[in-house]
Structure 1
């Protein structure tokens, strides 16, 4: 490990992994939060890797933004407190909450990388940007439906008013990374925030350079002087860089490589417990024959989750139909056990739908580890009931571009935000949310009931009422089958032991 970090035994919670940059949307700073780093010598540099070019605007989470988010930017709240499942203050110092308002006292002494003080007006500016649909970012679907507006009480106090009772005020604000208004126009190429590291340079296809921000508000941090992110598209080349000593940190590791690297004394594999993230196949309901619920259900019956978990994910990802662990308060057993692997049942549903001889379709894959092996297993089983599944592989940027345009039948996805509350999981999931839904469910017969239930779920803080609502939502997910959950997505990282 490079100077400034030491290899330690890490017992991280799922939430801490999220804040360490795994899972995308609410990522944080692995290089300032790894346990044991406080005892390491200050200074030095770290080299990490990324499989594709980086997205700097933290309002966009579908491309690899996590590396920049938690290093360059800070939010009002994060998940780095004693309870990793509850938001903790970051740029906020204290707050008062009612059903429809949130008044926040800001932390003093926070500066942006351009030297300007962080004030209540910056919160207002960022909320206004989050509510601007024309930018095309994902935060619009969080903030515009929920937030009426924001006003400055004084220079260090801001009041946010909500359109209705809303239980996820703090959770949503963990996603709202603060950008100074004067830097918003250029944030895609020259990011400016208030995080522990500031932007130095970026060469697409080569590397990103960051350096320690000397005026960072958290005393004594970051521990490192410099961070370099090398862009290395090839999976094996990233691992070779790690083993060869030219990189310290690698994520997006294939399950087969994880198994191999666990026995390599040169590195340490850090794996969180399951829950909060899922391997999921998303079906485009606007493409025939997937506009027919019976066909979508047939696809669900045709999935051998146990075989996929063993052969594609090397037994690292527990098979599941549910988004929730059985121990979670939101778990719905009936909805979570509705399907099993049954090709005869799948064939019968296809016949009932008018497709006794099957059909041809495709699944689009990006860089998600294990996806190709999963698709190959599924294609072999589908062939037995007359369904020809073609596998289309795309580089990361092309994958997201095609996904956004809706030019796909089925897509292999990693979903989840690590949060406990299902409302957050719906808002943060492009195929589950009710606005700008990427699976195109708005035209489906069930959508009006589904929309009503999703809004009910965020309209009250009564846990019993919300449990009834989310039980019904989970039943709709299962019955309508536009997402086919496969396994809990356990996301390891590998660090050098040097």
Structure 2
């Protein structure tokens, strides 16, 4: 067996591989170009401020909690890490660090993983955390009804063998390069109350805060877990998440002090606060979100690849980045951030703003007098993107009718393949192991994507890339580029921009972080 848990590296690496000694298996590690860049000098003050116990942090969020989506990653996932823990957590270089798993070993062929679990951890109701809870968490994600994007990775686990209460071995059907993506994605719920969790009545975990209650459309409240396994944490007495769906109201809530933190402020609005000493603006630029236009390949005329390519040429990505995101994004025709081994400048600029070329492609396709529905998730900021896409398409002769969906309905439509000819939303999963995007994200899933796109070539490439024990060897990198070639050519998902996650906080808020799946982490947060 080869130990894959190593202490953090002394400094960041651009592209690294965490290798098992003497073995070819590896865990992908990527360096963030900038994991967090602050636009306020108040960060320097915060760095020297000593943690202080007490107080309630009020978070303004643009979408409501959706209990039915508890085990999937979406814009409703913000509270997950308050109540629950995960097995591991990536650092900025995608090196897994301990959480509920203290250490781990992977066999040379990549088909078994032994986890040693943290002792002394209890659920909020006092029940001890054991290996049975990890067994349940994996089997829970294997259930199709959970709509978990990483279900394919969970399903690769064919056996879970306990060795007492705090050690177990996972046997895999084949190597999977994104196993530690699963370990960070998968919250570990209380197996006795999971059905109550799915209705929002009761959330029981091992996390830093206890769930107190939820008023749909309004408020979620949490209180300090005094029995948390991290000694002295959390510092906060409580957390409130206020649901504020209007963009203007979200910004106003911060300005007036009604809320102290938000990760939902639109980039162009956040830019207006960057010189205000009352606020600290932090941007996470590792690519945990991309805006895109999706095309339904089962209906006319978007079943024609030439029409989809015309749409890709019609979009003015640079204008959208500047006007809609205030510069807090990277215009890109491909989904991967600069920190990814798949990123290339050629991929990023494969489609540029070229209305004449778009019109010519539509002419070649015989697509004239086109009028199409354009669906979108009506959360803060998404309306303006839909309107800008509508304008760009109109310039090349494609009329669109905007169809707003509330965020929960948009997510349901995405999962169940009920989107119209065109839609625009955000997707994730390009920020972790490259194969995860195409086996896990609903818009890209090779077996069951929202666009209803099917291709034996695409499926073969994705499966080959995903089943590699070493996700960063030369063959893997070649497979990733070939996947990128298919995505760009087929254009069933037309990426617009890799988004920065913009965190706006009052100047007295310290220690807030996110994990790679956008779960808000407040273990070390405090009010200075």
TM-score range, shorter chain: 0.7 to 0.9
User: Aligned residue for 2:238?
Assistant: 226
Q: Is the 8 A contact 1:59 1:139 kept in 2?
A: no
Secondary structure in 2 matching 1:373: helix
- The correspondence for 1:252, drawn from 260, 264, 285, is 264
User: Aligned-pair distance for 1:108?
Assistant: 0.7
| Counterpart for residue 448 of structure 1 | 456
| Contact 2:386–2:402 (8 Å) recurs in 1 | yes
Query: Which has the larger displacement, 162-171 or 262-271?
Result: 262-271
Give distance in 2, aligned partners of 1:330 and 1:52: 31
Does residue 59 of structure 2 align to residue 48 of structure 1?
yes
Query: 1:126 is matched with which residue?
Result: 137
Distance 1:313 1:474 in 2: 25
1:95 aligns with 2:104: yes
Q: Report what 1:380 is aligned to.
A: 391
* Structure 1 residues 347-366: Cα deviation after superposition (integer angstroms, max 9, x where no partner): 222222221x2411122222
Aligned-pair CA distance for 1:421: 2.1
Q: 2:504 aligned to 491, 494, 498, which one?
A: 494
- Label 1:485 to 1:37 Cα distance change in 2 as closer, same or farther (>3 A): farther
Identify which range, 484-493 or 361-370, moves more after superposition: 361-370
SS of corresponding position for 2:81: helix
The alignment partner of 2:359 has SS state of helix
Question: Which secondary structure does the structure 2 equivalent of 1:39 belong to?
Answer: coil
Gap change, CA 1:134 and 1:320, over 3 Å in 2: closer
The Cα of 1:36 is off from its aligned counterpart by 5.0
Listed as ranges, the matches of 1:334-483 within 5 Å are 334-355=346-367, 357-367=368-378, 369-405=380-416, 406-417=418-429, 419-442=431-454, 447-462=455-470, 463-483=473-493
Match of 2:220 in 1: 208
Pick from 308, 317, 330 the counterpart of residue 318 of structure 1.
330
Q: Quick one: distance in 2 between partners of 1:428 and 1:343?
A: 33
Q: Residues 340, 254 of structure 1: CA spacing in aligned structure 2 closer, same or farther, 3 A cutoff? A: same
- CA pair 307-238 structure 1, distance change in 2 beyond 3 A: closer
Tell me if structure 1 keeps the 8 A contact 2:177–2:433. no
Give the secondary-structure state (helix, strand or coil) at the position aligned to 2:193.
Answer: helix
Question: Quick one: distance in 1 between partners of 2:401 and 2:219?
Answer: 34
Distance 1:196 1:487, change over 3 A: same
Match of 1:149 in 2: 159
Deviation at 1:54, TM superposition (A): 0.6
Confirm or deny that 1:164 pairs with 2:174.
Answer: yes
CA distance in structure 2 between the partners assigned to 1:417 and 1:407 by the alignment: 20
Give the Å deviation of 1:276. 4.5
Distance 2:438 2:375 in 1: 22
| 1:191 pairs with 2:200 | no
Structure with greater strand share of residues: 2
Q: Is the 8 A contact 1:368 1:413 kept in 2?
A: no
Say which SS state the counterpart of residue 134 (structure 1) adopts.
helix
**Alpha carbons of 1:409 and 1:306: their partners in 2 closer, same or farther (altered >3 Å)?**
same
Post-superposition CA distance 1:19-57 (Å, at most 9, x none): xxxxxxxxxxxxxxx975982211221111222321346
Q: Does 1:86 align with 2:95?
A: yes
CA distance, structure 2, for counterparts of residue 17 and residue 152 of structure 1: 39
Contact 2:72 / 2:146 at 8 angstroms: preserved in 1?
A: no
- Please list the CA deviations of residues 51-80 of structure 1 after superposition, one character each: whole Å capped at 9, or x if unmatched: 2321346312235122x211000011112x
**RMSD of aligned Cα (Å):** 2.5
Aligned length: 463
Instruction: Using structure 2 for the length normalisation, give the TM-score.
Output: 0.82
Residues 404-428 of structure 1: per-residue CA shift (max 9 Å, x gap): 3413222222222463421123334
Report Cα offsets for 1:453-477 as digits up to 9, x if no partner.
1110022234101011111110000
Tell me which moved more, 381-390 or 84-93.
381-390
- Within 2, Cα distance between the matches of 1:497 and 1:333? 37
Q: Is the 8 A contact 2:181 2:433 kept in 1?
A: no
The equivalent of 1:31 in structure 2 is none
In structure 1, the residue corresponding to 2:326 is in which secondary structure?
coil
Q: Decide whether the 8 Å contact of 1:74 with 1:195 is kept in 2.
A: yes
Assess, with a 3 A threshold, how the Cα gap between structure 1 residues 433 and 183 changes in structure 2: closer, same or farther: same
Deviates more, 1:461-470 or 1:421-430: 421-430
Counterparts in 2 of 1:10-21, with a 5 A limit? none
| Structure 1 spans left out of the alignment, 5+ residues | 1-11, 19-33
Is residue 15–residue 418 contact of structure 1 (8 Å, CA) maintained in 2?
Answer: no
User: Which residue in 1 is equivalent to 2:290?
Assistant: 278
- SS class of match (1:318): strand
